[in-house]
């Protein structure tokens, strides 16, 4: 007679006990008996490999363990948080420790064996974050001769850093990636300077078109350590975000050099540091000062994309009206009574068409060159809510760390199995809405591979728009839809269907190049060639050439150029992976060995 059936939580803990025992004996064969056949995955973020790597076969997992177990000494495996029941599997958060770190992760079991595991370094032993109950006391107690106040110490530190004392890390770019990484490094005590070419932190948002707002909900776009105010809207506007960026930098005591542009950077292999040429503008008289800093590590946080791209259309140089890229668009107010054509059909194109109509443009035409993904805002919000978490918990003690870990648990290779059914359900739910768009000539799909590719999970192909109002104008014919551009004439645009539309204004919402464009501008050519393309998974879809990479190209981890790091992405990427870049930098700062494991070729 068998014993009582185990609960999902007990079953996972029982598996972890067996797993822990096999690891203690360094018996890799016994460990592998606990992994499912024919398919098993292990995604590791630093804990075993000091990089971000996914192992996609049992053989790869075994090879990694044979090389790392003696050094890593993993132990103390326990379930952490509630267990979740899925069709054909169960899952739960886990925690463990290694010789140098405290770890967390997520585990899915199928038929009592591991289907996929994610392990992540969370804190370095002896160098834990000084937050919450571990926060510093504050002022020195008692009578202290020559006491310095907090602000005096901060001002002295900033006066020295980059001049008398070199920063350990220099971050180029003060957007969400740079600020979040800077916050982690500040808490960990790593001397860091953030360089921002704009006049103020937040200007990247502040200077965009006036109607811009997030199209993703605030609860997945939080910053580490400081949650947004509880009275903020679900979709914060650009000006709220701009002010938040600036306040965040102040409250987290980040050393930000604004009005400062990185002109060139080269790595001195003999000295083991970068030499970075910065040009600082005096905000009072506009004069320029050249400063050379020598950080041990250089982080490029210049955004997810490269420079604005404008297609070379025949006759564009003959156009007598105004034409510019969407990155320069501010407001449609000056185009009241004018005829506008917006080339493109993703978020910026829709937002600009909506604003032009609201500001009184006499005609607005969208030129859609390829299929787009369009989802109603409420449908998108509903799809983003993890069904394993109650919606009310986003406002009441929601554990963002556990949410991030669970979100990163599945390897990229299996994500389409989750995303394709999800976007099929969305397409079914939106079928009437989508049909109304198709009737007026708007071309739709759910991504080249059917995954919808939200928030950069996979390389987006074509346009992506979460409908906050522009689709209604397209459906009722207020905003006309045309296909590709064939030719531009002095006062009109000819489209591929042979039709011709008069125009006073052409706005190119045609996207941006790869991040590599910026890298190539900042570092020597031979170093930029070593880095190669950034972002993308090698999915063999358009704009994402193979071979398969398993993880995002050159992002958040050691790359071919020493002491160079590339960080970019959506808020959730920056929050989760920024922690891991900070841990890698902190370990190097403290002299902790960081042997990077790579898959045998």
pLDDT, position 280: 95
Q: How many CB atoms lie within 10 A of CB 177?
A: 29
d(CA 486, CA 327): 23
338 versus 418: the higher-pLDDT residue is 338
What is the average per-residue pLDDT within 321-331? 95
User: Closest Cα to residue 32, out of 18, 53, 46?
Assistant: 18
The answer to whether residue 392 scores a pLDDT higher than 80 is no
Indicate the average pLDDT of the chain.
90
Query: What gap in Å lies between CA 155 and CA 368, rounded to an integer?
Result: 52
Average of per-residue pLDDT across 307-327:
94
Query: What pLDDT, on a 0 to 100 scale, did the predictor assign at position 460?
Result: 37
Phi-psi region of 536 (alpha: psi -120 to 50; beta: other; left: phi over 0): left
476: pLDDT strictly greater than 80: yes
pLDDT number for residue 450: 53
Mean pLDDT of 339-343: 97
Dihedral (CA of 477, 479, 480, 483) sign:
negative
At residue 144, φ and ψ (nearest 5 deg) are -130, 115
Q: Is 224 helix (H, G, I), strand (E, B) or coil?
A: coil
- 303 band by pLDDT with thresholds 50, 70 and 90: confident
The confidence band for 219, taking pLDDT boundaries of 50, 70 and 90, is confident
The mean per-residue pLDDT over the stretch 514-534 comes to: 90
Neighbouring residues of 443: CB distance < 8 A, sequence distance ≥ 6: 345, 368, 370, 371, 372
Predicted confidence at residue 447, as pLDDT, reads 65
Beta strands in 23-100 (DSSP E): 41-45, 52-55, 75-86, 89-97
Q: Which of 592, 599, 524, 570 is nearest to 274 (CA)?
A: 524
* pLDDT of residue 189 exceeding 70: yes
Pick from 381, 371, 117, 118: nearest CA to 233 = 381
In the predicted structure, residue 456 carries a pLDDT above the cut 50: no
Question: What residues does 485 pair with on adjacent strands?
Answer: 495
Q: Does the CA dihedral 403-405-410-413 come out positive or negative?
A: positive
Q: pLDDT higher for 386 or 188?
A: 188
What the chain holds in terms of domains, given with CATH numbers, is 8-124 (3.10.450.50), 160-306+513-589 (3.50.50.60), 316-508 (3.50.50.60)
- The answer to whether 90 touches 84, Cβ cutoff 8 Å, is yes
- Looking at per-residue pLDDT, the higher value among 252 and 601 belongs to 252
C-alpha angle 541-543-544 in degrees, rounded to nearest 5: 55
Share of the chain above pLDDT 70, in %: 94
pLDDT at position 508 is 97
| Contact status, residue 559 vs residue 300, Cβ threshold 8 Å | no
Structure confidence at residue 396 as a pLDDT band (50, 70, 90): low
- The whole-number pLDDT of residue 426 equals 83
Overall average pLDDT of the 327-335 stretch: 93
118-177 confidence digits (pLDDT tens): 999 999 999 999 888 888 888 777 788 888 888 999 999 999 999 999 999 999 999 999
From 324, 370, 373, select the one nearest 344 (Cα to Cα).
370
Res 282 pLDDT > 70: yes
Q: What is the pLDDT of residue 147?
A: 84
Taking 90 as the threshold, does the pLDDT of residue 485 lie above it? yes
β pairing state of 89-97 and 75-86: antiparallel
pLDDT above 90: percentage of residues in the chain = 70
State the DSSP H helix or E strand holding residue 481, giving kind and residue range, or none if neither. Answer: strand 479-482
Pairwise CA distance, residues 597 & 469, whole Å:
49
3-state secondary structure of 482: strand
Residue 179: closest CA among 513, 582, 519, 552: 582
Instruction: Name the pLDDT band for 3 (thresholds 50, 70, 90).
Output: low
Of 69-73, 189-193, 223-227, 372-376, the poorest mean pLDDT is in: 372-376
pLDDT at 283: 82
Residue 600 above 90 pLDDT? no
Q: Tell me 5's DSSP state.
A: P
Among the ranges given (132-136, 334-338, 523-527), the one the predictor scored with the smallest mean pLDDT: 132-136
Q: What is the mean pLDDT of residues 300-328?
A: 91
State pLDDT tens for residues 531-566. Answer: 988 888 888 777 778 899 999 999 999 999 999 999
For residues 318 and 541, which has the higher predicted lDDT (pLDDT)? 318
Q: Of 294-303, 313-322, 386-395, 563-572, where does mean pLDDT reach its minimum? A: 386-395
Which of 444-478 are b and which e, b meaning 16 or more Cβ less than 10 Å from the residue's Cβ? bbbbbbbbbbbbbbbbbbbbbbbbbebbebbbeee
Backbone phi and psi for residue 483, each to the nearest 5 degrees, phi listed first? -85, -145
Is the pLDDT at 449 greater than 80? The verdict is: no
pLDDT for residue 457 = 39
pLDDT at 601 over 80: no
Whole-model pTM: value is: 0.93
């Amino acid at each position: 007679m068998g014993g009582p059936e185990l609960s999902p939580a007990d079953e996972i803990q029982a598996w972890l006990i067996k797993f822990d025992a096999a690891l203690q004996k360094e018996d890799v064969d016994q460990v592998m008996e606990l992994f499912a056949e024919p398919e098993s995955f292990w995604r590791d973020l630093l804990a075993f490999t000091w990089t971000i790597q996914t192992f996609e076969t049992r053989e790869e997992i075994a090879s990694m363990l044979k090389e790392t177990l003696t050094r890593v000494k993993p132990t103390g495996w326990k379930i952490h948080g509630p267990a979740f029941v899925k069709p054909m599997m169960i899952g739960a958060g886990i925690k463990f420790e290694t010789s140098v770190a405290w770890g967390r992760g997520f585990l899915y079991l199928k038929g009592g064996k591991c289907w996929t595991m994610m392990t992540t370094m969370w804190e370095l032993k002896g160098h834990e974050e000084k937050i919450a109950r571990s926060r510093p006391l504050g002022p020195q107690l008692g009578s202290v001769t020559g006491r310095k106040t907090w602000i005096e110490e901060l001002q002295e530190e900033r006066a020295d850093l980059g001049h008398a004392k070199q920063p350990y890390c220099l971050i180029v770019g003060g957007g969400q990636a740079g600020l979040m990484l800077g916050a982690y490094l500040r808490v960990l005590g790593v001397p860091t300077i953030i360089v921002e070419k704009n006049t103020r932190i937040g200007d990247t948002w502040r200077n965009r078109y006036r109607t811009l707002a997030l199209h993703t909900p605030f609860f997945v776009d939080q910053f580490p350590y400081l949650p947004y105010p509880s009275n903020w809207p679900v979709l914060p506007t650009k000006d709220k975000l701009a002010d938040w960026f600036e306040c965040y930098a102040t409250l987290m005591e980040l050393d930000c050099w604004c009005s400062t542009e990185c002109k060139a950077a080269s790595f001195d292999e003999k000295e083991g540091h970068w030499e970075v040429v910065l040009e600082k503008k005096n905000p009072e008289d506009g004069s320029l000062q050249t400063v050379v800093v020598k950080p041990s590590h250089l982080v490029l946080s210049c955004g997810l994309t490269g420079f604005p791209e404008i297609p070379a259309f025949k006759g564009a140089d003959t156009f007598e009206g105004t034409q510019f890229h969407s990155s320069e668009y501010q407001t449609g107010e000056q185009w009241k009574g004018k005829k506008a054509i917006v080339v493109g059909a993703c978020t910026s194109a829709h937002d600009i068409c909506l604003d032009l109509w609201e500001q009184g443009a006499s005609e607005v035409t969208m030129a859609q060159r390829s299929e787009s993904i369009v989802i109603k805002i409420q449908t998108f919000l509903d799809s983003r809510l993890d069904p394993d978490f109650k919606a009310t918990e986003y406002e009441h003690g929601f554990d963002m760390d556990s949410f991030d870990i669970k979100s990163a648990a599945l390897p990229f290779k299996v994500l389409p199995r989750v995303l394709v059914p999800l976007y099929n359900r969305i397409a079914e739910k939106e079928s009437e809405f989508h049909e109304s768009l198709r009737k007026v000539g708007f071309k739709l799909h759910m991504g080249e591979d059917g995954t919808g590719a939200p928030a950069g999970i996979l390389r987006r192909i074509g346009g992506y728009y979460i409908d906050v109002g522009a689709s209604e104008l397209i459906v009722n014919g207020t905003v006309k839809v045309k296909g590709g551009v064939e030719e531009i004439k002095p006062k009109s645009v000819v489209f591929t269907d042979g039709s011709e539309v008069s125009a006073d204004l052409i706005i190119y919402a045609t996207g941006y190049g790869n991040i590599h464009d910026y890298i190539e501008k900042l570092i020597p050519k031979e170093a930029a060639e070593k880095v190669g393309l950034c972002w993308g998974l090698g999915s063999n879809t358009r704009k994402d050439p193979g071979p398969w990479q398993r993880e995002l190209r050159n992002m958040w981890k050691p790359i071919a150029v020493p002491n160079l790091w590339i960080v970019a992405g959506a808020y959730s990427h920056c929050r989760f992976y920024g922690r891991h870049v900070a841990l890698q930098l902190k370990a190097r700062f403290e002299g902790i060995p960081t042997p990077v494991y790579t898959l045998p070729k």
